[in-house]
Structure 1
Amino acid sequence: MDDQLSRVFSALADPIRRDMVARLAVADAGVNELAEPYDVSVQAVSKHLKVLEEAGLVSRTKQAQRRPVHLEAEVFDLMTKWIERYRRQAEERYRRLDDVLAEMDTEQSPTDTRHTERGAS
């Protein structure tokens, strides 16, 4: 799992590949269609797609002469589970910090009142 996760995050580290993934989330596309907005060769786009394929983010099917690229959304479930685990841990740490700060505030409030009373005497 972690090995695939590393490949996925590594593949998404490149802005062109992230953009391709975003475009494929809307609809499948061919290599030429994916290459259109970039100032790179179709061969370079094919290399980007190979990285995405090896990470399991996309697959290609054959439809007559066309080989559309399809986004494999299940891989995002793997990423989401990994991110969610660390989000929950961070929330728990913040919750404990809030408890400690609230306790410190409660302990400090009576002390402040006593200092004020002594100063008034």
Structure 2
Amino acid sequence: MTTSTASPSSNVGAEGQLTDDQRQVLRDWLTDQLTIQRERVQQATIDFEALADSDSAVDRELGREELDAALEAVVELQDALQRLEAGKYGVCVDCGKAIPFERMEAIPEADRCIGCAAAW
């Protein structure tokens, strides 16, 4: 994740809202991760297609799992960027409360607060 000179958690705005600096740090990180995951999807697709003729069902299954994980990561990151642009980023999709910046910093694609994530 990109780091700023000031501690992002030290300048959280009122009511848990993200500051412009925090929003930019998270946007940059999400965008970087999206690029990485898209490259991972491309490589996993190539690898999976190469396994199509493999006699090993285990290898094919592992290849499919890698591709599925990469695709899921892309979707989660795209969703997080959409929430960020729509002004809904950092708000729990279940309870509607603000997700602490520390959680967003640790798991930027998180869409649930810790309590709701644990219950989910």
Judging by fraction of residues, say which structure has more strand: 1
Q: Which of the pair has more CA radius of gyration?
A: 1
Judging by fraction of residues, say which structure has more helix: 1
TM-score (norm: length of structure 2): 0.36
TM-score (norm: length of structure 1): 0.36
